[in-house]
Amino acid sequence: MDWQQDYEQKCISLDEVFERHITGHQKIYTGGLHVASTLIKEMLKRVSEGALEGLDLYGNWMNGDFPFDQLQVTPEQFRYHTYFAGPEERKGFGSKCITHIPVHFSDVGALLASLDLDYALVQMTPPDAHGYCNIGPLGFEPSGVKCAKHIVAQINRNLPRVFGDSHDFHVSQIEAFFVCDEELENLVLPDPTPEELKAAEYVVERVDDGSTIQLGIGGISNAIAKGLESKKHLGAFTEMYSDALVDLQMKGVIDNSRKNFMPGKSVGGYSTGAKRLYDYINENPAVYFTSYDVVCNPYYIAQNDNLISLNTALSVDLTGQVCAESIGTRQYSASGGQFDFVRGAKMSKGGKSFIAVTSVAHTKNGPVSKIAPILASGSAVTSLRNDVQYIVTEYGVADLRFADIPTRAKRLIAIAHPDFRDELTAEAKKLGFLY
């Protein structure tokens, strides 16, 4: 049987997916970001109606609108185990149907291999001329798909086909296909604030021509990317390949010519953003996606000389501990690849790592300093103070590498918002950080 005939015979309806495959009492990998939304929503509908039970889902940040907060179920009926939370997962934490798995992105492959997954339920591109479907720009996905006993693919013509180390799956490897096009997230970020622009300036002036960069998403990251237009011969080895990196690569700022590990192309883990990003990475050999086993592995990160890691945080205490994932005990996002890149940059020859934040969080209870005497009770420590190098705000840069506690406290207070510096100094003395 040729692959076209095999593909046609394996194409089934939405109802048949749940009559033949997702029938209950199973462990299912759903991936993240560009998920098979139509299949997942139908699954949740059947769970809510009591037609499906005994499901354990494993995945991360789902783009879309999912009624997790409306599910009235027990853990035995349904539980979604996520290793990175987005807005939909945060809704579900409150309803107890979602639970968090603390794990570095470099360990996601090992996590998924340990689960004995029954099914992978993921989006893929239509098959190419040789019968290969592509999972798109999702580096956390290869491990989950390969570890599952069976694969059901939702075929979506809008998903970009990317070059990657483990992103193609032949029709013969896939149990069933459900054809349903879905629009991808079209993420448009607001312009950076004046505070974000100022903080970005301090970072940009410390990035040398020829460096290899890891850059996330958000106001400060976009401001940093804009500032990097003044640089030359940058490379990219990054957990997220974003819209901002598209601009830098199209303008020739990122040319990967001096990158000594996997040279000549940008290396990314995942992409989500605006349509122009998806159009750019589609079948573009200049952008290469790898599994998180590679792109988020500190060993491989460190193979890049002059690796610049750029991340952000929710809070930093006066000893240099960084929380980027929880508000007290309330899980907000996850550790992701931050510590992987902080550690990788530390190991890189000439590497530098930056945690860049604006100095104040504007909450419903008023302004709160992101530089805190101690982290809020129950906060997760995302990056260890032993590994953190530069903390940056709009008020300057604190270099913490090899600094003792009093020196760290003084440097961090100096870059806190002026309205909080006296309070921070007084608290630091009470805690014994200053004397």
Query: Are 245 and 224 within 8 A, CB to CB?
Result: no
- The yes-or-no answer on residue 8 being catalytic is no
173: nearest Cα among 154, 149, 144: 149
Q: How many CA atoms lie within 13 A of 1 on its CB side?
A: 10
The residue from 42, 88, 239, 394 that is catalytic is: 239
Q: Are 325 and 355 in contact (CB under 8 A)?
A: no
Q: For residues 373 and 150, what is the distance between their CA atoms, to the nearest angstrom?
A: 50
d(CA 431, CA 427) in angstroms, rounded, equals: 6
Inter-residue contact 89 to 330 (CB < 8 Å): no
3-state secondary structure of 244: helix
Tokens of 153: 């693919």
Structure tokens at 29: 């990998």
Tokens 């997230």 correspond to: 185
> Are 391 and 320 contacting, i.e. CB atoms less than 8 angstroms apart?
yes
User: Active-site residues: which are they?
Assistant: 239
